[in-house]
Structure 1
Amino acid sequence: MMSELITITEAAASQVKEMMKHNEEEGAFLRVAIKGGGCSGLSYGMGFDHEKNEGDQQLEQHGISILVDEESAAILKGTVIDYKQSMLGGGFTIDNPNAIASCGCGSSFRTATNTGKPEEC
């Protein structure tokens, strides 16, 4: 099922919609991707995109169109994206069941089958 690839919570979707509105990106896709780098080897990327590429998987959740490229999809399967508010502000949290190791900053990780290209922390 496509919805099992990534789950975006209502809190995260609400924040994404606010960011789209603030940045005049209404109608854009939310692209979620994996990039090489970070101290554990892989890092997450999220941003707005107006182009759907060949091989992209598209899903709709809470009124947001999400794009994931083919390579990232395998690593992101089952990932939950949430938004948490705290006294110091707010931020997105990404819970990826495929990550076997992550660094203290929480934005870098590796999986059992993909170690990426670690950088010095």
Structure 2
Amino acid sequence: MADVTSITLTSSAARRVASIADKQGKSAVLRLSVDGGGCAGFSYRFALGEVEQDDVVSMTDGVSLVVDPVSLDLVAGCEVDFVEELGGSAFRVNNPNAASGCGCGSSFSV
């Protein structure tokens, strides 16, 4: 398990993860992974989970952001934020590796 500071979770996202985890009685660990598909080629997937042996881990305010080694190449250097807007609230990935994205903000291409 490595600590990579180039993958970050904002304080806003950390507070939201902690709140959700507390309500569900789970660990404050947000897993970010990338799946093939989505309207732009790849899609982000978020889940509460546990830290696995090969995960890359970044900590913010006592909350862990974990990424599996396969997804890491596509999200290295990213920032995960939690935004509340008129249209709703969601986790948002600011990914410097993405060449383009879609309107929904949950898929991207490289």
Q: CA offset at residue 32 of structure 1?
A: 0.8
Cα 1:51/1:13, change in 2 over 3 Å: closer
Equivalent in the alignment of 1:118: none
Equivalent in the alignment of 1:29: 29
Cα separation, 2, equivalents of 1:30 and 1:59: 10
Cα separation, 2, equivalents of 1:51 and 1:2: 14
Structure 2: tracts of 5 or more residues without a match:
none
Q: In the alignment, residue 106 of structure 1 is paired with which amino acid?
A: G
Q: TM-score, normalised by structure 2?
A: 0.87
Cα separation, 2, equivalents of 1:89 and 1:110: 24
Moved runs in structure 1, 4+ residues, more than 2 A?
86-89
Cα separation, 2, equivalents of 1:66 and 1:79: 11
Cα separation, 1, equivalents of 2:44 and 2:72: 12
> Identity of paired residues, percent?
34
Q: TM-score, normalised by structure 1?
A: 0.80
Q: In the alignment, residue 2 of structure 1 is paired with which amino acid?
A: V
Cα 1:51/1:61, change in 2 over 3 Å: closer
Alignment of 1:56-71 (within 5 A): 56-71=55-70
Structure 1: tracts of 5 or more residues without a match:
112-121
Cα separation, 2, equivalents of 1:51 and 1:31: 8
User: Which of 5, 9, 15 does residue 3 from structure 1 map onto?
Assistant: 5
SS in 2 for 1:84: strand
Q: CA offset at residue 28 of structure 1?
A: 4.7
The C-alpha deviation readout for 1:3-36, integer Å capped at 9, x for no partner, is 11x11111111011111011111x2522111111
Cα separation, 1, equivalents of 2:46 and 2:36: 14
Q: In the alignment, residue 73 of structure 2 is paired with which amino acid?
A: A
SS in 2 for 1:82: strand
Cα 1:80/1:87, change in 2 over 3 Å: same
